[in-house]
Amino acid sequence: MHTIYILWLRQLKRYWRSKSRIIGSLGQPLLFLVALGFGLGPIFERAGGGNYIRFLSPGIIGQGILFMAIFSGIELIWDRQFGFLKETLVAPVSRFEIMIGRTLGGATIALVQGVIVFLLTLAVGFRPQQWILIPMAIFLMLLISLFYTALGTAIASTMRDFHGFQLIMNFLVMPTFFLSGALFPLDQTPAFIRTLSSFNPLTYGVDGLRSTLVGVSHFGLGVDILVLSFVSLTALMIGSYLFSRITV
C-alpha cells in the first residue's frame, strides 16, 4: 500500500508542476462548449431538443476526462525511454502495486480535470437539475477515469515509441468521443450508430453523467454504473497483466 501511495503522489506532483499542461488541457473542452454550445444551440432548440448547453455539458465533461486519462500512458513510455521505469521496477515491490499506483494517480488527475471542466460548464450557463446528485456524478467521473487510465497504461505497456502511441490514441479517442452520444441524442440516430455506441464505454459514462446532472438517460443509471464498473475492472486486470510483462 505504501508503494501505491508513493506512485499516486508522484503522478499528482507531475501534474501540478506542469502549469502549461493544465491550461492546455482545458482549451479543447472550452472550445467545444463555446463553439458548439452557442453556435449550434439555436438550431438544436428549434429542432425541439431544448437548451443545447444543458445537453452538451455532460458530454464535454466526459471528453475532458477521456483525453486526460488515456494520454497518461505517454508518461509510461517517457519513463521507459529515459530509464525512470527501470529504477521503479527493480524495487522490491510487485509490479501489480506499481501499475495500480500509476493508474490511481492518472485517474485522480483525470478526475480533477473532469471537475474543472464541470466548473467551466457552470461558467457558460449550465446548471445541474439536482445538486444533491453531484457526488454520484463525481463517482461516475472516477469510473470513467479509472477505465481510460488503465486502458492507456495497457496500450503503453506494449509500446516504446511516442509517435506510435499518439497515432493509436488519436485513432481511438476521436471515434470514442463522437460515438458516445456527447454531441447528439442517441435515441434520434440511425440503428447502426446506436449499435456502435452501445459497445463504447464512454457512451455509458456520458449517459450516467447526463442522468445525474440533467435527469435524462438513454440506458438508465443502474446500467451505466454496472457497465463502467465491469469495464474498469477488466481494464485494470488486462493492464496489470501487460505491465507485468513489460521489459526495459
Domains of the chain by residue range: 2-244
Measured between alpha carbons, how far is 40 from 35 in angstroms, rounded to an integer?
8
Q: What pLDDT shows up at residue 158?
A: 81
Amino acid at 117: V
SS3 at position 215: coil
Q: What pLDDT shows up at residue 85?
A: 65
Q: What pLDDT shows up at residue 82?
A: 65
Which grid cell is 154?
A: 495497457
Radius of gyration of the chain measured on its C-alpha atoms: 18
Q: What is the DSSP letter of 220?
A: -
Q: Residue 5, Cα to own-chain centre: how many angstroms?
A: 21
pTM for this structure?
A: 0.89
Among all chains, which residue has been given the C-alpha cell 439555436?
42
Query: pLDDT in tens for each of the 248 residues of the chain?
Result: 555 656 656 666 665 555 556 666 677 888 888 888 888 778 877 777 778 889 999 999 999 999 888 877 777 777 777 666 666 666 666 777 778 878 888 888 889 889 999 999 998 889 998 899 999 999 999 999 999 999 988 888 887 776 777 777 778 888 899 999 888 888 888 888 889 999 999 999 999 999 999 988 889 999 999 999 999 999 999 988 887 777 65
